[in-house]
Structure 1
């Protein structure tokens, strides 16, 4: 009778929840910035109906979301980067436009009160 070897399994990784498992690390999913884009479009619409100036960011955001849903991480990352840049530019320009609008309104109001 031959000696039989016991089936023993020793884990090579710790069983802690915070320990990363073996295998390739996946990059986090790119963000789509849809809410930021909608907010920019609404701000531009509030500023004299110029909502069309915020639409490029919204288009890139929706494309990023579509690519993410289709399983194309590279396309999603590319459109996400473009949406982020377009949103930054749009936010800065709308902030400057609102600041100029407020300054002009203050100047007009003070000149009307002085007269």
Structure 2
């Protein structure tokens, strides 16, 4: 008697390939930008102790995180959007102030070399 070999077929794709995951689809959680806000506060603090200029972004970030924890997703989205805008403004301002500082240092060093 010959042993029979079972027919085994391995599908090349899963049956749900490209389909949405089963279950209710929910909106993604809003992001809280706490790390970015802390970085902005630290950068402003190193630029002459002006950490208070990055503080509003940190406040909105913490509010977004608190709203997300209690389940208020609409409030979390609102505060998250405000934190993102405040962080963008702070980051651009830090970059501009840093660039101005570097230009001033270069001008001072070049004027000291010529004299």
TM-score of Structure 1 vs Structure 2, range by shorter chain: 0.7 to 0.9
**Alignment match, 1:62:** 62
Could you say what secondary structure the match of 2:54 adopts?
A: helix
Q: CA deviation at 1:101?
A: 0.3
- What TM-score do you get using the length of structure 2 for normalisation? 0.82
Give unpaired runs (5+ residues) of structure 2. Answer: 1-13
**Alignment match, 1:5:** none
Give unpaired runs (5+ residues) of structure 1. Answer: 1-13
**Alignment match, 2:41:** 41
* Poorly superposed stretches of 4+, deviation over 6 Å: none
Q: Distance in 1 between matches of 2:15 and 2:57?
A: 44
- What TM-score do you get using the length of structure 1 for normalisation? 0.82
Q: Distance in 1 between matches of 2:109 and 2:77?
A: 47
Could you say what secondary structure the match of 1:38 adopts?
A: helix
Q: Distance in 2 between matches of 1:60 and 1:69?
A: 14
